[in-house]
Each structure stands twice: as C-alpha cells, then as structure tokens.
Structure 1
Amino acid sequence: MHTKLGAGLLHRHDTLQDGTVMFHEVQSPESDICIPKALLSVDMDKIAPNSWFLNRNGLFQTFEYDASGEATQIDAAFASDLAKFLKAHSLEKRISVIANPADREDFIEFTHPSGHGTVSVPLRLISDQEIEASEPVITGWSFNVNEHGVAECKGNNVCAPMTSGNHKVFRDSKPYTEHVVNVMPPLNTAGKKS
C-alpha cells in the first residue's frame, strides 16, 4: 500500500460550510489548487477521494477530493492495521492518509488568493529566502522502496504560513465530522470490494 498512499499532517486551511467539500484541481503541471466547492457544483462522475482521516467510528473517511475520477482502492486489512496503529499511538487526530505523492517533485502550499483554500507549486519555483521567511511546515510524506528493497519515508508536501499572515492552519477547529459530507464510502467498506 505504500506505493499508493502517503501520510499527512491532519489539518485544515479553512472552515467548511455545510454542503461544501475541499476539492483539488490540477491547473497545470506547475500548480494544484484546492478550494472549497459546493457539492452541487461538483461532477460526481469525476470525483475521487484525495485525503482521509480516521473518524470516531474507527473508519477512514474522506475529507478532500480531486477531479481525477480514479479512486484509490485500499486493502481492508491494511486499513484495519493502520487504524489500530494510529489509535495505539494517539495519532488519529494528527495523521491523515493521502494519495502517495512520491512520483512528483516536492511541493509547497500557499493560501489561495481568495483567502479560502490553497495553491501548491513546485518547491523549486520558490526562492530560498521566501522559504526561510515563511517558516514552512512539512505536512505530507511519501513512501518508496529503495534499491535494497527497504521502504523509505520522505517529506514531500510543505505548508508555508507566510509572514504576511496568509495560510492559516486550523488545528483546533470544529471536529472534522461536523463538516464532512459523506460522498464516498469509508475505506474499510471500499476495501472489502477489492
């Protein structure tokens, strides 16, 4: 599963209104925009889960989506083992599951110009001075297998709370379950189909 999934720091950039979801759209190879969208405006044939958290019922629940239309199938045994591990180490409110970004370069995330959502761009496009001034936080990790057959973990996504006050990260906002719209089945259920 490590080739399909990565780990993320469970956080929010915006408080969602009822009936909205965080939705990723790749604008170009150089940018990924994630903004709140009304569920009614999303093409349900093209929606796919992008990020999951472990909910109060012990199931992985989607909290961000993308327009790829390609749902990641997650093995039920893996989901069960991961849920047990997160609970045993009190990480269920800190760690999320994300699509594995190992096949793409490192990205940095900034607040969307609207003030709602984020814009991710390749880290190589940002100057060292801007990165140092922003006090970036690694929020995503990818996994790959090295030449010796050992799975390695690497920081891959970075959030940048800019000095201008942009890019708020909500860690102690309302519980995720209050604003999540149940569009996709929990991973444990989806995994049993495969």
Structure 2
Amino acid sequence: MDETILDFERFNHLPLLDDHGCVVLKDLEAIGTIFMRHGLQDHYAAGRLHRHTVLQEGSVMVHRPMSGYDECTASSRDETSLRPHSLYLNHEGIFQAYEYEITTSSRPALEPGFLNELKATLISLGLASTISIVPNHARGEHDEVERLLPDGRGMRTEKSSDGDTGPEEEYVETTWSFEEGEAGGIRIKPRKRCLKFISGVHQVIRD
C-alpha cells in the first residue's frame, strides 16, 4: 500500500459522481467473495470511487465523526495526524488513501494478500477506476445517505430515513457491504447512497 499523502492534483483527477461507472451484481459478488475470504467484511466495504470537491494545494479530504453523523471536508494537509480512511487503486497499480481521518481506528490492517487479490479482480472486471475500499460503518439494517454541505466544502453522511428521497430526487448507491447469505452465498447490502435531484444536481443540506 502506498502510504504517501495523496497530492491535491491527483485527487482532482478522481471521477465525479456523475461519471460513475456501471457496477453490476455479479461483479459485487466477486468482490465480496474476496472481502469475506479474508475476514474483512465486518470492517470494510466496497465503495464507488468518486469525489464532490475540487481541492486546493495543501489540502486533503478528512473525515470527522460528529454527534450522529460524519463530515468529510477539505482540510489542511497535516501529515503527522492523518490516517487512511478510503483507498483507491492509483495509476501505479497500488492502493492509496484518497480520504483520511484523524481518529484512531480499530479496523484491522489490510494485508498484501487481500490487496493483491482485490487488485487483480478489479482489473479483470474493468473496475480498477470504479471501486474503492471504504470503512464499513453501518450496523444492523440501516443504511446511510450523503449530502453536500451548503458551503461546498465537503459532505455529510448520516443515517437514512424513509423520507430521504422526494419526487424530484434520485440516489446513486455508493457503498456495499457483504455478509453470508443462504446456501453459502453472499448477501450484498447497499449501505450508502448519494442523493441527487433528477436534474443531476447533488442534494445540499438545508440548514
């Protein structure tokens, strides 16, 4: 794994949500098999690689747990306190963090065996620039919804509710977790979605 802090220019070349590729069920099953074979399904999930923000020089995206939700905002690049949060397969074919956190994580380290197997599978499926590795924060049956912050500096993720999607809105699934299904199969659970208006504009939190 590349432990170098991602440069802002490289971050700005990550795909926007509107550029997301197609992810089908059989591909998620193949990916989920790897997570489960390595015993990581309770700690990590598969994410849809995307960004919402244009970073300026000297900044990175940092997750901060708040009361009842998570905020990911552009923050100063302080290499002494940043820890990997979400990882993607970079142009050198090495997994590297593109979003960070400053809290200590209890998630297990990602071993080379898992990373190499996932890399080979993503390349074979044509998903090397589509799928990322993200924490599996969701527990139980609830999932999460992501909206942009009103000042455009980042996004907020919180527990979803039945009234999240209105008649002029749609959502894009951005995180999937995995668990054992029937007859030894894999159950794929959409865990996070980004809300958008049907016009294509990402939904913004209303303060």
TM category (shorter chain) comes to 0.7 to 0.9
Mapping of 1:46-85 within 5 angstroms?
Answer: 47-70=82-105, 72-85=108-121
Q: Could you tell me how far apart the structure 2 residues matched to 1:68 and 1:150 are?
A: 34
RMSD of aligned alpha carbons: 2.4
Paired amino acid for 2:65: V
Percent identity for Structure 1 against Structure 2: 30
Separation in structure 2 between the aligned mates of residue 65 and residue 24 of structure 1, nearest angstrom? 6
User: Residue by residue, what CA displacement relative to the aligned partner does 1:34-74 show, whole Å, maximum 9, x if unpaired?
Assistant: 1110113x7x34x3211100012111000011232226401
- 1:157 paired residue number: 192
User: Residue 150 of structure 2 is aligned with which of 113, 117, 124?
Assistant: 113
Q: Residues 34 and 76 of structure 1: is their aligned pair in 2 closer, same or farther, counting only changes over 3 Å?
A: same
- AA matched with 1:151: I
- Count of aligned positions: 162
Cα distance change, pair 8–82 in 1 and its aligned pair in 2 (3 A): same
DSSP-derived class of the 1:12 partner: coil
Structure 1 gap ranges (5+): 169-194
For residues 89-168 of structure 1, what are the structure 2 equivalents within 5 Å?
Answer: 89-103=125-139, 105-124=142-161, 127=163, 130-146=165-181, 150-162=185-197, 165-167=201-203
Specify the alignment match of 2:48 in structure 1: 9
Match in the other structure for 1:179? none
Q: Which amino acid aligns with 2:151?
A: S
Using the size of structure 2 for normalisation, the TM-score is 0.69
Give the whole-Å Cα distance in 1 for the aligned partners of 2:137 and 2:158: 13
Is the Cα–Cα contact under 8 Å of residues 87 and 134 in structure 2 kept in the other structure? yes
**Relative to 1, partners in 2 of residues 1:166 and 1:13: Cα closer, same or farther, differing over 3 Å?**
same
Q: 1:100 to 1:68 in 2, by over 3 A?
A: same
Runs of 4+ in 1 over 3 A off after TM superposition: 146-151, 162-168
